[in-house]
């Protein structure tokens, strides 16, 4: 089932290498200083700057939890469960391998759009849902809905298993933001039920209920990289886009944030590490050494540079 999805070309933007794995990209000069415990940013900010970090917005999958391998597992189990085969010559049920899924999930947001794209490219499948490949829109919608519903339930079982942990630094940053009086939001392209389950199990009920805004893919008509979800969050929070800072893990999320007029930092995963993040104001392997003050200074510097 090999398929190639073109990825964006590598960026030639200026990068400052702070460690073997941490890269920062800036659009104006800054001074970098290193302490024995962690690397901090020291930015000279104009006192007349009218912008400040008022809202911190997290993506969920890839940012709060490194989830794509879990989604891939659940999709493949759904394909096997319903014996999904994309051609009569297929000897085994459809299986998305790691390399292909990394490309797919970094180009197409949302589970149903992923499957619809795949079946359009490779042919609509036979399955236990329909013995023959569906030929009309109603049948095609049914097979996608059925697969997505089963996959979502399987994914929930994995999350509930207690074996999944939040990514480093996320909970501390959330707590720092709330303690500092910042607005806190989560905006995910995934289905609402799936995101709620992830948040309740990974950040805890109290943090989840304390969010100032929570939006899922069900809440907007267009998925990322369309900016709708972030524009909607800005309105619900009552915070101007320039005072919001988004934390994303992929170029799709980065594009959604920048199209909404928001600055974005990237905390990449193994699946997204090679993507072109030239429009991010900073890029990190994780958030373990990042504090709220670092993000405030980054946003101030980005606003001044623009």
- Catalytic residue numbers read 59, 61
Instruction: Count Cβ atoms within 10 A of the Cβ of residue 122 and give its class: 0-12 exposed, 13-18 middle, 19 or more buried.
Output: middle
| Rounded (10°) CA dihedral 117, 122, 126, 130 | 30
State how far the Cα of 137 lies from the Cα of 134, in Å rounded to an integer. 8
Assigned token pair, 128 = 């236990």
Other Cβ atoms less than 10 A from the Cβ of 192: the count is 14
Q: Is 261:277 a contact under the CB 8 Å cutoff? A: no
Q: Are the C-beta atoms of 256 and 229 separated by less than 8 Å? A: yes
Contact between 284 and 165 (Cβ < 8 Å): no
Residue 150 is inside which H or E element, if any? Answer: helix 137-160
- Minimal CA–CA distance to 6: which of 106, 132, 111? 106
Cα(32)–Cα(42) distance, integer angstroms: 6
């Amino acid at each position: 089932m090999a398929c190639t999805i073109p990825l964006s070309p590598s960026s030639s933007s200026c990068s400052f290498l702070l460690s073997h794995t941490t890269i920062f990209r800036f659009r104006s000069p800054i001074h970098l200083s290193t302490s024995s415990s962690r690397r901090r940013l020291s930015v000279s900010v104009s006192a007349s700057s009218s912008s400040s970090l008022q809202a911190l917005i997290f993506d969920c999958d890839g940012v709060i939890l490194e989830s794509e391998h879990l989604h891939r597992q659940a999709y493949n189990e759904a394909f096997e469960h319903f014996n999904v085969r994309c051609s009569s010559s297929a000897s085994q049920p459809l299986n998305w391998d790691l390399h292909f899924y990394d490309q797919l999930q970094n180009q197409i947001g949302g589970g149903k759009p992923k499957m619809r794209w795949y079946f359009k490219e490779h042919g609509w499948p036979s399955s236990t849902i329909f013995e023959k490949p569906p030929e009309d829109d109603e049948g095609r919608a049914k097979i996608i809905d059925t697969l997505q519903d089963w996959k979502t339930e399987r994914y929930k079982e994995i999350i509930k298993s207690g074996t999944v942990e939040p990514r480093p630094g996320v909970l501390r940053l959330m707590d720092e933001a709330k303690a500092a009086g910042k607005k806190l939001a989560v905006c995910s392209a995934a289905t609402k039920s799936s995101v709620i389950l992830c948040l309740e199990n990974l950040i805890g009920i109290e943090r989840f209920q304390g969010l100032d805004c929570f939006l899922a893919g069900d809440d907007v008509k267009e998925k990322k990289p369309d900016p709708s979800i972030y524009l909607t969050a800005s309105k619900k929070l009552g915070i101007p886009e320039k005072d919001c800072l988004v934390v994303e893990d992929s170029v799709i999320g980065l594009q959604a944030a920048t199209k909404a007029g928001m600055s974005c930092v990237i905390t990449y995963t193994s699946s997204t590490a090679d993507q072109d993040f030239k429009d991010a104001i900073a890029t990190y392997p994780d958030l373990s050494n990042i504090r709220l003050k670092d993000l405030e200074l980054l946003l101030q510097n980005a606003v001044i540079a623009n």
